[in-house]
Amino acid sequence: MARLSSRPLRTTSLLIPAIALAHIFLAPYSKVEESFSTQATHDILIHGIAPSALDHYDHVIFPGAVPRSFIGPLILALITYPLAVIGQAVGVVRTSADVQTVMRCALVLLTTKSLASFANALFTPPKLTRREAGIHRTCFDVITALQFHFLFWASRTTPNSIALPFVLHAFKLIAALPTSQPRFLTGMTLLTFLASTLRLELAGFLIPASVLFLAGVGSGTPNKFTRVVNLLRAGIVGGLLGAATSIVVDTYFWRGPSALLQPRQWLWPEFSGLLFNVVEGKSSDWGVSPWHTYLTSSIPKLLSVTSLFLIWTIITRFQPQADRKGKAKSIPSVNKRLPNMTPIRWLLALCAGHVGLLSLLAHKEWRFIVYTVPCFNAGAALGLRRFLTTRPRQLVVLLILGLTAAITTLLTLISHVNYPGGHALAELERRLDTLPTSAEVRIHIDVLPAMTGVTLFQALRLSRRTTGDGSVGKRKGGFGTSWLPSAVPELSTKRRMVYDKTENLDRSPKNASAVSQWSSYDFLLTDRIGCQVFEEQEDEQTSGSTETEDIPSENPAALFEPAFEVQAYTRLKLKRPRAYIHSLIYPHGEFWQVLLVSSSSQGSAPSSSAVAASIGLPKWWRAANALLPLQIQTAPAVTVCRKRQPSPK
């Protein structure tokens, strides 16, 4: 391991996009955090951005979402559209769900490209020799590839992940400060623009960067007044440009084109977030965490066991070094160290300031500091390189990397069973292919399934030809036009599907209109056990008949019956050592039984009884779960219910 050269650079660099893409296919569905950007991207691709198209947007049909910037979804739509059209031409993209996969692949490739460019800026000659640059870059690639959260969330359409590739480009420019002030100021302009449009917490980097720049970090203009003027110019340009862009774009999409002419109706989502969370101090409304949460929980979670390499870097970089006579050298004063800070140490200082500032807020989420991971990994790469000097240390490296890979494998398996709503809808769509053609099938989707994987892209048979008056018109082209190829393929089926996400429906069995409403659905995606859609009432047996005269003669509680269930992750359980070893060694053990037993016998057939059959987990997942010393336990989370057929008389 100590003889690593620059050649592995080309090989290990492929690990990062390969593993990030693998996460997409192993966990293809999304959760509520990604909902806004995913739905908005779908609407832009299908309906376009004309004023008449806004009424068909998901946030208009289902109001109540916290306003977020449409700049991110616009970027996603622009990078997704050409790839989706090409995918349809070559036969890779066949359904709308495939377009969602393409969208996530486009985002992850953009992020990994920015990550590679960021790493090249840090680990290239003349800062290091060619050989050392190759070794350090390999260490960085291996550390990043083995961690779970960064690459798993790199393809997720949260505003943080959409901003991530542009933040990395800004970091690349900011890291040039020790040698290039113009590039640093360009990076500050970009970071200010991103903070005012996509994610406000990026201001946590601007403050320490400004302080250190004014304190004298880097070469170039020593005049402090000139530095202040240059820094203000960069901040004002980025801030005003970002504010103007956000106000125009978000006012248009959230409040309509007419609101652009009324300044009181202007919307600036990130500024509203600043007022609510910081100025008014209401970030605690989202939850309160201790001040040390980022340091003791979030960073170890993001970096996993490789955080030990970062700790080693910090210890060895800041301890006094011995001279030739064995005497400890004194650490240079701050005034001498600041102008000569290395790019990695400079970025680590910015990340420390960012984490420290965000720790002052009551509400904390690891996504707010996810941008620091590449910088921390760059520092960890230095520590890993120092560990490669002796063979005993190399064994420690293998142990740390092995533990990190094991944790990532475990979390990847858990993530596969963490989206029951998406799995349920996909399985229902597959089974509907075998049913006789029907004019219309109505599906109601409860809150939990909608939050765990159900999106407009996953609705394969959604009617995307709706016109302004609600009727079904001609098929729309890309971005709602009639002349661009459509971004979303249309299934060749005559069956029309209606996906209803209406919340807070009346569940009283005494209400005739409520019973009629529920009777209009053919299938339900629900987290209610036994498909009991109605709430039981204590006075049900003693109530008068005046309110229930018009209720159908069938028992309302028996409108639906379970079709199948979808399992979801519940907890981890440590296997007994003896049972674990036996399951791997003996042919009748769990692992070998998984390999030998056909997956078709795992209960994927629909059940006609009142007890639903759980759809079987894939063989690769069950085999991997059997290999682990920890048992990933699952339980029914979402039930797909079908309307009960009337019994023959």
Per-residue pLDDT tens for 187-228?
A: 999 999 999 999 999 999 999 999 988 887 765 666 788 889
pLDDT at 545: 44
Pick from 510, 498, 553, 560: nearest CA to 533:
560
pLDDT at 219: 56
Stretch 301-311: mean pLDDT, rounded? Answer: 97
Q: What does pTM read for this prediction? A: 0.91
pLDDT at 612: 54
Predicted confidence band of residue 603 (pLDDT cuts 50, 70, 90): very low
pLDDT value at 240 more than 80: yes
Share of the chain above pLDDT 90, in %: 61
* Coil, helix or strand at residue 493: coil
Sign of the CA dihedral running 337, 342, 347, 352 = negative
Cα 143 from Cα 16, distance rounded (Å): 10
pLDDT at 4: 46
Neighbours of 392 (CB within 10 A): 8
Q: What residues form DSSP beta bridges with 1?
A: none
Tokens of 483: 């002349």
pLDDT at 339: 53
pLDDT at 539: 52
Sign of the CA dihedral running 421, 427, 430, 431 = negative
Tokens of 355: 């984490």
pLDDT tens digit sequence for 38-85: 999 999 999 999 999 999 999 999 888 889 999 999 999 999 999 999
* Coil, helix or strand at residue 87: helix
Cα 600 from Cα 616, distance rounded (Å): 8
* Cis ω for the linkage preceding 159 (within 30 of 0): no
| Cβ(246)–Cβ(69) below 8 Å | yes
What is the DSSP pairing of strand 630-643 with strand 560-574?
antiparallel
Return the higher-pLDDT residue of 319 and 99. 99
Lowest mean pLDDT among 205-219, 465-479, 516-530, 586-600: 465-479
Q: Please write down the HEC assignment for all residues of 551-589.
A: CCCCCHHHCEEEEEEEEEEEEEEECCHHHHHHHHHCCCC
Q: Which alpha helices (H) appear in 507-616, and where do they start and end?
A: 512-519, 577-585, 590-596
Average pLDDT, the chain: 86
Lowest mean pLDDT among 116-125, 210-219, 244-253, 391-400: 210-219
pLDDT at 490: 80
Tokens of 362: 């009551």
| Cβ(537)–Cβ(604) below 8 Å | no
Predicted confidence band of residue 180 (pLDDT cuts 50, 70, 90): confident
Rg of the chain on CA atoms, in Å: 28
Tokens of 234: 């960069």
Q: What residues form DSSP beta bridges with 566?
A: 638
What angle is formed at CA 373 by the lines to CA 454 and CA 150, rounded to 5 degrees?
25
pLDDT value at 267 more than 60: yes
